[in-house]
């Protein structure tokens, strides 16, 4: 016996949506609008990068003639070579090459030491509880909110006392001191969600303090370690205040050298050279975010919910 068609079948055959229903077009319109808005935001944020990159590949006369937004008509890498060169002016080099190496010699040890110390602090403050541990964590956390300008004079006195003022080692020391507060915060929150039963079981088996840390906690700290490394690398590489305050001509980081490169221009500003230098200074942080950026948010969310 044949059954009567349902209202859904009737409406499907006629192309008329059921009462209270939505057509495919009405569902897709908000998504299209969202994509258009996101595309406009991408263009807005990428426009400065386009201007810097395109103008760094132009001769200076193309820029001064008013063609800053246009693509280069005469492609050249002369501005990049000039920004990278080591021509001497007075007592300082105008090129960025030696200072690029200074930044790497400063950033890599500072990030490694601050990350390791933060992991140790987070381990102690979560798995080895003691009287006053909350107060100690609060004091360490207080370092995250101290403005850089307040510590300039005390830090200069400390560097002078340690005889590392005006050196790359001094800059490493400064950035480790400031980075430990943030790395401790990251690792402490991450280890708080780590099963304490594993630590207790290792203690029963005779494992000591450092054995538990290196064999159990540290191998499972990959997500938060990536977050800490990205954050510290970006902030230390982009720092200008400490580099300008505590470095000498031979130990200046990339950011200070870039400022000197811009200030060294006399007469007509060499905008193509300045743009090329700015891109060189930004390339390491861009590379870090491109390679490991997808792990950043994932690492921040890992351990945020306990249970």
CATH 1.10.3720.10 location in the chain:
88-301
Of 111-115, 260-264, 273-277, where does mean pLDDT reach its minimum? 260-264
Chain-wide mean pLDDT for the chain?
83
Of all residues in the chain, the percent with pLDDT exceeding 70 is 83
Q: What is the mean pLDDT of residues 195-199?
A: 87
Instruction: Please indicate whether residue 16 or residue 81 has the higher confidence score (pLDDT).
Output: 81
Q: Is the pLDDT of residue 243 over 70?
A: yes
Q: Across the strands, what pairs with 93?
A: 88
Q: What is the dihedral of CA 36, 37, 39, 45, to 10 degrees?
A: 160
- Quote the CA–CA distance of 179 and 115 in Å, as a whole number: 8
The topology under which CATH files domain 88-301 is: MetI-like fold (1.10.3720)
Model confidence pLDDT, tens digit, residues 133-188: 889 898 998 888 888 888 899 999 999 999 999 999 999 999 999 999 999 999 99
Instruction: Please list the alpha-helical segments (H only) found in the chain.
Output: 7-14, 24-56, 60-64, 78-84, 97-127, 133-142, 152-162, 168-192, 196-204, 209-212, 222-238, 241-246, 254-263, 271-292, 294-301
* Stretch (H or E) spanning 57: none
Q: Is the pLDDT of residue 50 over 70?
A: yes
Q: What is the pLDDT of residue 106?
A: 95
Instruction: Please indicate whether residue 159 or residue 8 has the higher confidence score (pLDDT).
Output: 159
Closest listed residue to residue 86, CA positions, set 262, 261, 251, 271: 261
Q: What is the mean pLDDT of residues 277-284?
A: 91
């Amino acid at each position: 016996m044949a059954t009567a068609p349902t209202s859904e079948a009737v409406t499907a055959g006629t192309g008329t949506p059921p009462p209270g229903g939505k057509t495919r077009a009405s569902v897709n319109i908000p998504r299209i609008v969202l994509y258009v808005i996101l595309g406009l935001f991408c263009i807005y944020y990428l426009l400065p990068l386009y201007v810097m990159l395109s103008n760094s590949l132009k001769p200076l006369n193309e820029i001064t003639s008013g063609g800053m937004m246009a693509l280069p008509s005469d492609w050249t890498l002369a501005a990049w070579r000039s920004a990278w060169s080591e021509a001497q002016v007075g007592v300082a080099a105008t090129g960025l090459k030696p200072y690029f190496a200074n930044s790497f010699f400063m950033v890599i040890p500072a990030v490694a030491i601050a990350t390791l110390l933060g992991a140790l602090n987070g381990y102690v403050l979560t798995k080895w509880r003691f009287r006053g541990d909350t107060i100690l964590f609060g004091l360490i956390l207080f370092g995250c909110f101290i403005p850089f300008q307040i510590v300039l004079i005390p830090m200069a006195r400390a560097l002078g006392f340690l005889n590392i003022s005006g050196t790359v080692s001094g800059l490493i020391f400064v950035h480790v001191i400031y980075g430990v507060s943030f790395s401790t915060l990251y690792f402490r929150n991450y280890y708080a969600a780590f099963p304490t039963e594993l630590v207790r079981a290792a203690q029963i088996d005779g494992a000591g303090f450092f054995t538990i840390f290196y064999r159990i906690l540290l191998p499972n700290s990959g997500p938060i370690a990536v977050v800490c490394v990205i954050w510290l690398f970006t902030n230390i590489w982009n720092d200008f205040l400490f580099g300008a305050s505590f470095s000498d001509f031979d130990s200046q980081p990339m950011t200070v050298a870039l400022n000197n490169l811009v200030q060294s221009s006399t007469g007509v500003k060499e905008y193509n050279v300045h743009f090329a230098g700015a891109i060189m200074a930004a390339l390491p942080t861009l590379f870090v975010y491109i390679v490991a950026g997808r792990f950043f948010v994932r690492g921040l969310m890992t351990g945020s919910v306990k249970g």
